[in-house]
Amino acid sequence: MTGVQKPSRRILIGAGSYAEARTALRLAERLAGTLATDLGGMLVEETIWADLAGLPKQRVITSSGTFIVAPSRRQIKTVAESDAKAFRQTLSALAPQENWSFERRRGELISGLCEAAKGWDLLLLGYRETHRLVGQIVLIEPPADAEQEARVLADDLAHALGTGTLAMTLGSAPQGGGVGPPDTEHFSSEDLLLARIARLHASAVVLDLSAGPLRTYDQLRRLFAAARCPIVVVGAGRGEPSLEHSSQIPPAPEAAT
């Protein structure tokens, strides 16, 4: 039986290092054959490391709980150049012909990638690999009246990895056989949903930032920290507005003439 042709998608792969990008690149490879027309890569060099490098004898704590001397500016630059080269080479090997691009930026990871994702269909947010086992694909279920692109994408990715999809959302389960997938886990608070995800062994989490129930950059940061795996974001560039366009921030005063 001939498979149904999936629509083309432009995929942006973002990470703070090449070690984090590798997992997202592998997911992109699974999707590129049926979805992608263009692949983009973005390496975000977070300013915190440059700031620490400017402080003499500054010590930082690693993920293992040990203290190390903060790297020098030269060391940071060397690692960044090496990461960029490896990221670019792997991306070019995945993309057909010339349908790929690569960019480096400095700033905060989540907000920087979401801003850069404007004009892209999907954002694949990389996370440093902690295991090789294939886990479930977790779907943050959008509201029933919203576009269901995230669910379709989660199911496609689960099929490509040979695993299952586990759907979760915020709010009470519909009563009396109401609208909505019956297999969705419902949580009364964001904290409970994130705690559930933190206990899972997931290969990726899929969500639609423009549809909800998670919509803000801060919620995406919390999800990223809890999931400890790549995040596939639909509508990343249509989510939380940037600060300069927020109605809560007054416009800058005009220069005196």
Give the pLDDT of residue 182.
55
- Record the tokens describing residue 166, joined without a space: 């586990």
Give the pLDDT of residue 238.
79
Domains of the chain with CATH codes: 9-51+59-242 (3.40.50)
Where the chain has pLDDT below 50, the residues are 1-2, 48-49, 51-55, 60-68, 178-179, 242-257
DSSP state of 60: E
Report pLDDT digits (tens) over 171-222. 876 655 544 555 789 999 999 999 999 999 899 999 999 998 999 999 999 9
CA-to-CA distance for 60 and 202, rounded, in angstroms?
Answer: 29
User: Do 187 and 170 contact (CB within 8 A), yes or no?
Assistant: yes
Q: Say whether pTM exceeds 0.75.
A: yes
Give the pLDDT of residue 57.
53
CA-to-CA distance for 140 and 125, rounded, in angstroms?
Answer: 15
How many residues can be counted in the chain? 257
> CB-hemisphere CA count at 13 Å for 182?
2
Give the pLDDT of residue 248.
35
Give the pLDDT of residue 73.
65
User: Do 188 and 157 contact (CB within 8 A), yes or no?
Assistant: no
CA-to-CA distance for 254 and 257, rounded, in angstroms?
Answer: 9
Report the Cα–Cα distance between both ends of the chain, in Å, rounded: 71
Between the CA of residue 21 and those of 55, 73, 122, 189, what are the distances in Å?
28, 22, 15, 30
- Record the tokens describing residue 129, joined without a space: 């690999």
